[in-house]
Amino acid sequence: MSFLKKEIKQLLINRQHKSYEKRVSAQNLTYNEWIEKKEKNVKIDNYKLEEKGNFLTNDLETVVNDGINDENERNNSKNVVFCEPFYSLDLSDSNGTTITIISIYEGELSDIALNLIYRQFLTDKNTILVYGDEDTRENGVRKNPWFKPDWSPDRFLSCLYFGGIVAVRKDALQDAYRICSQKGILKNTSYEKAEKLYWLLFELLKMYKAFEKGHDKTQMPVCHIPQVLFHSKKNGYEQIKDYKLPEAALQEAAEASEQLISIIIPSKDNVDVLFHCLDSLLERTVSKYQYEIVLVDNGSKEENQNKIRNKLDEINAKSVNTTTKLQKIQYFYQEMEFNFSRMCNLGAKASEGAIFLFLNDDMEIISSNWLDLLAGKASLSYVGAVGAKLLYPESDKIQHAGITNLRVGPAHKLQFLRDEEVHYFGMNRGVHNMLAVTGACLMVKREVFFEAGGFCEELAVAFNDVDLCYTIYEKGYYNIVRNDVILYHHESLSRGKDGESEKKQLRLLKEKDVLYERHQDIYGKDPFYHPYLTTDMLESEYSPCYRYQVTLNMPWSFVEKGDDTVKSAREDQCLVVGMECAMDIYKWQYGVSPEKGKVKVKPEDMGYYFQGYSFIIGSDNACYKKKLLLKNQDNGQIWLIPVEDRYRQDIKNNLKDQVNVDLTGFAAKMQKNAVPAGVYQFGMLALDACSRQKLVNWSNWVLQIEA
């Protein structure tokens, strides 16, 4: 009898495996399949263009000033192949406009490239330079997509990120060439050929005011076409990563001696950590800038106040006898409830510097030139907030490398990943423009800070730094993270982590609502994060969205009471439940509640969207069916919600020792009035389809459902 049971169970398992493999195959698209489907939807016009010449040359002057009209030297425009630097293709139209396309490494134009490039120049007379995305193609198979940001002036100064090809108006290119010739750049024998092109493009962009405040695309001389325009023979980033312009190439700042930096540190009853921060700052900083330190204390007990005052007296006494650029330390004490924004604003008003540096008391300085590097960028006229790369203490694990504006909220991409590895075409190397940086280390000019209105005091705990950066960006400035400035962040030693309790979670959600009510127009948008990268989930990697795609085109879930079903299940910590999103569908799409939104509510918006991941440790996950649980915090009533599987490459990569974890993701939709109003805790019920086993476990995530 037991043998028969085993046979039956094995048949059931085999059936589940076949079904599972079929579902995995349907969702696990390759990049090649996905991008070809995407490109079929790209609108292509039929322009009549004259190819004035295709030529291969190692001489930049030939690229800029000449052309070869020999018909035998022309390639088919649908398959223009570029070899070694420099290859140029000149196109002209009936109006006499000539566009030069230049490649600096081997590859070929995509089928849609010429059409999209020319359309951009034709439809926008302000466009001077165009670049796009690229991938590699081998034996007809495309892979390794490099999806780039929109115009990023500071990334350009740090790295020739335009990559394989750039398209430039020929007359503008010739003007820039003359400037470079006058400066002797092109005759400098220390520069490689690609470096000379780099300088040429820099002078061109400077000439057309690309390094100025303002994000109006109708006035922008640089255009990023967010489509693959080039197929390189090998990784493009590896070929250009070592090219960078010198730090002083765009120097606008006043003399260092004229700039006072005010380092503003909020702190309360955290003396050991604070003193470690101060000691590391004073002992390791070597700077040409004079600076002051402003400590803002919102209510330390008397014992700690005395310790702080004694410490400051000690520092002031030492600074008299040293060559430090520290001018003074102010101690600003005011009892009040914790409000990070108010503390920073009070510190700013009490400060005298032309540049502010907001610094958490749990930061540790580990290099000497960090202050100069931050200030060198912050001093530029078009620059807003400048941040650093933060690592977890005594490790190379990344805590912060800029903030990305995803639809699920502001995200710290690369968090917890190893910094010794290079991630997504150098996103943890060099200097990058980002929509926001963390307030744990944020430098900004005094006038920019007050122009933005300072920190929003309605955001007492979370998202205040993000809000400030979004406002600065909306004022036309560019925010920056410097990956070449590294600090240790002893994160959350002061106030704990968000989301540890129901109260903190609800506070966090409320502050997130305030953030997007203040910035509706950029909800779910980020000019420095490509729309072909995943925008709908919190993952550390920069992942092309073919790996995981969110769609709301799913049926409404049939919600039912589930008290008895759940009571008979065994609560088991091996059932992992990770919630990533639980919110009103209208808010998911537009960032705000319907009564505050600009878009009219549609029937399909009237509900809630849930997203996350779940798996059973040590079990064959192909054999389980899952249902999301909602438990009313007041009366304990439990509701069951069927979920749809989602392919999750990121989870699978982290669970190499687990079985069948491809479809660990889940999603569900629930209509507005499916459950009564109240605060609900999330959980998961897992039903083994090959036995009677039922497992249940609970997440610490909660959701407040309105009446």
In this prediction, residue 189 carries a pLDDT of 83
Q: What is the DSSP string of 623-641?
A: GEEEEEEEEETTT--EEEE
What's the alpha-carbon Rg for the chain, to the nearest Å?
A: 28
At 532, is the pLDDT very low, low, confident or very high (cuts 50, 70, 90)?
A: very high
Check pLDDT > 60 for residue 254: no
β-strands 222-232, 129-138 pairing? parallel
In this prediction, residue 421 carries a pLDDT of 96
Average pLDDT over residues 597-621: 93
In this prediction, residue 501 carries a pLDDT of 73
Higher pLDDT, 510 or 684: 684
In this prediction, residue 251 carries a pLDDT of 73
In this prediction, residue 156 carries a pLDDT of 97
Check pLDDT > 60 for residue 191: yes
664 CA to centre of own chain: 24
Higher pLDDT, 323 or 695: 695
318 CA to centre of own chain: 42
Q: Coil, strand, or helix at residue 431?
A: strand
Check pLDDT > 80 for residue 538: no
Q: What is the pLDDT of residues 611-653, one digit of tens each?
A: 999 999 999 999 999 999 999 999 999 999 999 999 998 889 8
- Region for 660 from its dihedrals, namely left if φ exceeds 0, alpha if ψ lies in -120 to 50, beta otherwise: left
The single-letter code of the amino acid at 668 is A
Q: Which candidate, 627, 624, 643, places its Cα nearest to that of 688?
A: 624
At 252, is the pLDDT very low, low, confident or very high (cuts 50, 70, 90)?
A: low
In this prediction, residue 13 carries a pLDDT of 85
> What phi, psi does 333 have (nearest 5°)?
-110, 130
Rounded Cα gap, residues 611 and 544, in angstroms: 18
Strand partners, 638: 631
State whether the Cα torsion 43-49-55-57 is positive or negative. Answer: negative
Average pLDDT over residues 67-86: 48
Q: What is the pLDDT of residues 288-324, one digit of tens each?
A: 999 999 999 999 999 999 999 999 999 988 765 565 7
At 50, is the pLDDT very low, low, confident or very high (cuts 50, 70, 90)?
A: low
The proportion of the chain whose per-residue pLDDT surpasses 70, expressed as a percent, equals: 91
The proportion of the chain whose per-residue pLDDT surpasses 90, expressed as a percent, equals: 68
Q: What is the pLDDT of residues 165-187, one digit of tens each?
A: 999 999 999 999 999 999 998 88
Strand partners, 659: 620
Q: What is the pLDDT of residues 655-676, one digit of tens each?
A: 999 999 999 999 999 999 999 9
490 close to 364: Cβ distance less than 8 angstroms: yes
Q: Which candidate, 468, 394, 378, places its Cα nearest to that of 431?
A: 378
Q: Is the peptide bond before 230 cis (omega within 30 degrees of 0)?
A: no
The single-letter code of the amino acid at 244 is K
Cα distances (Å, whole numbers) of residue 275 to 89, 272, 285, 346, 362: 61, 5, 15, 21, 9
Q: Which of 113-122, 301-310, 548-557, 611-620 has the lowest mean pLDDT?
A: 548-557
Rounded Cα gap, residues 548 and 514, in angstroms: 29
Q: Which of 206-220, 302-316, 540-554, 659-673 has the lowest mean pLDDT?
A: 540-554
The mean predicted confidence, pLDDT, of the chain is: 89
In this prediction, residue 85 carries a pLDDT of 55
Joined tokens for residue 516: 């997007």
Check pLDDT > 50 for residue 195: yes
Q: What is the pLDDT of residues 359-400, one digit of tens each?
A: 999 999 999 999 999 999 999 999 999 999 999 998 999 999
Higher pLDDT, 54 or 160: 160
